[in-house]
């Protein structure tokens, strides 16, 4: 064979081989198409109230969300449909309609949502008059170039895009509990903000101890995260916030990276509990970043809790053991569908898989109770 023939044969070999490799490489590497879809077992994780309240229906939040996304509904739409059950249920005093009001007796709601596949998010804070703030947060995501709207302007936006604005979201129960709290709070202490704040906190905690309000609902909130059958990851958090809060107070729930964080390639994390403790460290973001480095959801969540414990140094926030006198919980899921519920002190969380819905114990960082 001549040298020219050998060169031609080599050229043909290179061209043929390159064409074969190009065909074998997914088209997305050349920017010409979407990534291949994954198929996994879907899962929904949420705070415990996600498997408790049904608003008079037959299914809980996690059951509703799991059923919808398993049937092909967009994962975020499914999760929001799930938390709508809790937002609308007047028996849950931590979220939406009938949520425990602020110190002036006004129900102010916060919410956020994140859509992993599209890298989009939306949130509202101090929203009044709309029972389902999670849907308004999604409208912010879908219809604006912004991530967060607040206060009267958030309400005006909601009205403009078609939500019904109600004059008062209190139920008979939530108003009665607010009046009881007011009765227990000494009005003569307004001149001393620190004493006044402590008096209000003690009154609320005493009402929880007496069973007048759910201890978990003093801080409120539902977080719900899910991984769909195609691997899409989304999350939503919605709350009426801290019971009897200063009007205008915004906690962690509507803040991306605090009350909720989602990375469509890694996983999702959200929280309930003392929002200020979570806000200081943007712990949901920390958890997702820990999972990005390969840590299991439980280990990632524990790292965030350790940071909260280390950052809690004010004496007023410590119990007699010198540990945090409050609870914070995280609900975590990674892209493989592995999940965990973790908390400073043992609590509960909800999970729904193909085996059905369960309410499980969280993994606690600390022993005992927050008030011990």
Point out the catalytic residue in the list 60, 221, 238, 239: 221
pLDDT at res. 371: 87
* Domain shared by 4 and 136, yes or no: no
pLDDT at res. 216: 56
pLDDT at res. 8: 40
Model-level pTM? 0.83
Residue 159 backbone dihedrals phi, psi, to 5 degrees:
-60, -40
115: tokens are: 């859509």
* Domain shared by 20 and 162, yes or no: no
Question: 272-311 b/e with 16+ CB inside 10 Å = b?
Answer: bbbbebbbebbbbbbbbbbbeeebbbbbbbbbbbebbbee
* Domain shared by 21 and 53, yes or no: no
Which residues, 6+ apart, have CB-to-CB distance to 270 below 8 Å? Answer: 223, 224, 225, 235, 236, 237, 259, 260, 261, 284, 330, 331
Mean pLDDT per 10-residue run, the chain (372 residues)? 43 38 35 52 97 97 98 98 98 94 95 98 98 98 98 98 97 91 64 54 63 58 96 97 91 97 98 96 98 98 98 95 96 98 97 98 97 88
| Element containing residue 262 per DSSP (H, E) | strand 260-263
Euclidean distance between CA atoms 270 and 284, whole angstroms = 6
* Domain shared by 68 and 210, yes or no: yes
* Domain shared by 252 and 162, yes or no: yes
* Domain shared by 20 and 67, yes or no: no
- Residue 263 pairs in a beta bridge with 267
Contact 215, 232 (CB under 8 A): no
The number of distinct structural domains making up the chain is: 2
Euclidean distance between CA atoms 79 and 63, whole angstroms = 10
* Domain shared by 108 and 228, yes or no: yes
Contact 259, 271 (CB under 8 A): yes
* Domain shared by 27 and 127, yes or no: no
Return the CATH number at 310.
3.60.20.30
Range of the domain at 142: 43-178+199-364
Euclidean distance between CA atoms 302 and 296, whole angstroms = 10
In a domain, 191, yes or no: no
Tokens 């909800």 belong to residue: 350
* Domain shared by 13 and 161, yes or no: no
pLDDT at res. 221: 87
Per the annotation, the verdict on 221 as an active-site residue is yes
Which residues, 6+ apart, have CB-to-CB distance to 347 below 8 Å? Answer: 48, 216, 327, 329, 341, 361, 362, 364
């Amino acid at each position: 064979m001549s040298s020219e023939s050998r060169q031609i044969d080599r050229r043909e070999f290179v061209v043929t081989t390159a064409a074969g490799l190009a065909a074998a490489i997914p088209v997305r590497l050349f920017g010409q198409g979407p990534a291949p879809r994954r198929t996994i077992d879907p899962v929904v994780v949420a705070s415990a109230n996600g498997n408790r309240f049904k608003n008079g229906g037959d299914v809980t939040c996690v059951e509703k969300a799991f059923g919808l996304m398993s049937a092909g509904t967009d994962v975020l739409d499914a999760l929001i449909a799930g938390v709508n059950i809790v937002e609308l249920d007047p028996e849950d005093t931590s979220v939406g309609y009938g949520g425990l009001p602020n110190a002036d007796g006004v129900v102010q709601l916060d919410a956020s949502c994140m859509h992993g596949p599209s890298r989009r998010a939306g949130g509202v804070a101090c929203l009044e008059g709309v029972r389902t703030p999670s849907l308004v947060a999604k409208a912010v995501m879908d219809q604006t170039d912004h991530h967060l709207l607040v206060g009267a302007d958030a309400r005006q936006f909601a009205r403009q895009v078609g939500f019904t604005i109600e004059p008062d979201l209190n139920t008979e129960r939530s108003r009665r509990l607010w009046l009881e709290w007011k009765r227990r709070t000494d009005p003569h202490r307004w001149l001393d903000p620190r004493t006044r704040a402590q008096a209000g906190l003690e009154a609320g905690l005493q009402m929880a101890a007496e069973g007048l309000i759910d201890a978990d609902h003093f801080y409120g909130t539902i977080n719900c995260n899910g991984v769909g059958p195609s691997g899409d990851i989304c999350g939503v958090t919605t709350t009426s916030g801290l019971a009897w809060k200063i009007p205008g107070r915004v906690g962690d729930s509507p803040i991306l990276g605090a009350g909720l964080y989602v990375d469509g390639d890694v996983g999702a994390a959200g929280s309930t509990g003392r929002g200020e403790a979570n806000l200081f460290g943007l712990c949901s973001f920390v958890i997702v970043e820990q999972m990005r480095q390969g840590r299991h959801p439980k280990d990632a969540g524990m790292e965030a809790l350790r940071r909260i414990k280390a950052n809690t140094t004010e004496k007023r926030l410590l119990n007699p053991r010198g540990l945090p006198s409050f609870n914070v919980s995280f609900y975590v899921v990674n892209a493989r569908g592995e999940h965990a519920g973790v908390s400073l002190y043992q609590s509960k969380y909800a999970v729904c898989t193909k085996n059905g819905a369960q309410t499980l114990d969280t993994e606690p960082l600390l022993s005992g109770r927050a008030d011990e």
